[in-house]
Amino acid sequence: DAVDRLGDMIAAARVIVPFTGAGISTEAGIPDFRSPGGLWTRNRPIDFEEFVASRDARDEAWRRRFAMQETFAAARPGRGHRALASLYRAGKIPAVITQNIDNLHQESGFAPDHVVELHGNTTYARCIGCGQRYELAWVRQRFDGDGAAPDCPVCAEPVKTATVSFGQAMPEDEMQRAAELAQHCDLFVAIGSSLVVWPAAGFPLMAKQAGARLVVINREPTDQDDVADLVIHQDIGEVLGPFVRN
């Protein structure tokens, strides 16, 4: 069946590049965005322009983030993360490209330099003006004290989670590294993403055009099933669990 074919493709590949979305982290208890009950079915996203323009929007963004804190803090890598980490340790995966912001690939054993975070990271914050890093505990203390989202003590611009909001520029270095990975692999595996958000969703196509075989693993159909060499509409933990090596 399809899972056996995946096993054959993984065994035959020299360089595998995984590309992950929120679906790889649902097993860890973190909701995705577009499934029933997903984050964007409950709340409209706050885009970057709004965040910059409105203090209310910033307060709301931080309220939402702190409401998720226990979920993020308790989350541990799932079978999908651990399977990829096993293939990374075996030398088959040079790095993972992720749209996720939850830090779980790093926690599963990938070196920080080998996680290309296209949409940033929500486990710390940065000033949107000068880029100064702040820890969430620091933001929380200010927020609880003043009841308001803090501005940067260095340059007075707003402090935001180190994530990429809609309308915010993509990180250039990560875009470059993702392109190089996509163009230098023989197997590209899109895992747990609806593949509807661009420019991130361009990487599977880029890999395919550069000659890689493309596999899509996702419970529901994605925007790129029609271009994939193999599509597996099953649970990620079940499909990748057999590749976990401890």
**How many other CB atoms sit within 10 Å of the CB of residue 180?**
14
Footprint on residues 75-134 left by Zn ion (CB under 5 A): 127, 129-130, 132
121 binds, among Zn ion, ligand OAD, none (CB under 5 to 8 A by kind): none
Angle subtended by helix axes 172-183 and 202-209, to nearest 10:
40
Q: What whole-number distance in Å separates Cα of residue 37 and Cα of residue 43? A: 10
Tell me: does residue 178 bind ligand OAD (CB under 6 A): no
Closest residue to bound ligand OAD by CB: 23
Which range touches ligand OAD (CB under 6 A), out of 29-37, 52-60, 68-76, 150-158?
29-37
Tell me: does residue 26 bind ligand OAD (CB under 6 A): yes
Tell me: does residue 219 bind ligand OAD (CB under 6 A): yes
Which range touches Zn ion (CB under 5 A), out of 29-37, 145-153, 176-184, 220-228?
145-153
Footprint on residues 102-161 left by ligand OAD (CB under 6 A): 119
Q: What is the CA radius of gyration of the chain?
A: 18
* 119 classed as catalytic: yes
Contact with ligand OAD (CB under 6 A) among 84, 125, 162, 236: 236
Footprint on residues 123-142 left by Zn ion (CB under 5 A): 127, 129-130, 132
Structure tokens, 122: 């929500």
Q: How many residues bind ligand OAD (CB under 6 A)?
A: 23
Contact with ligand OAD (CB under 6 A) among 3, 15, 35, 109: 35
The C-alpha torsion from 188 through 193 and 198 to 202, rounded to 10°, is: 10
Applying CB under 5 A, the residues found at the interface with Zn ion are: 127, 129-130, 132, 152, 154-155, 157
Applying CB under 6 A, the residues found at the interface with ligand OAD are: 21-23, 26-27, 32-35, 38, 99, 119, 164, 166, 192-194, 197, 218-220, 235-236
Mind telling me the catalytic residues? Answer: 119
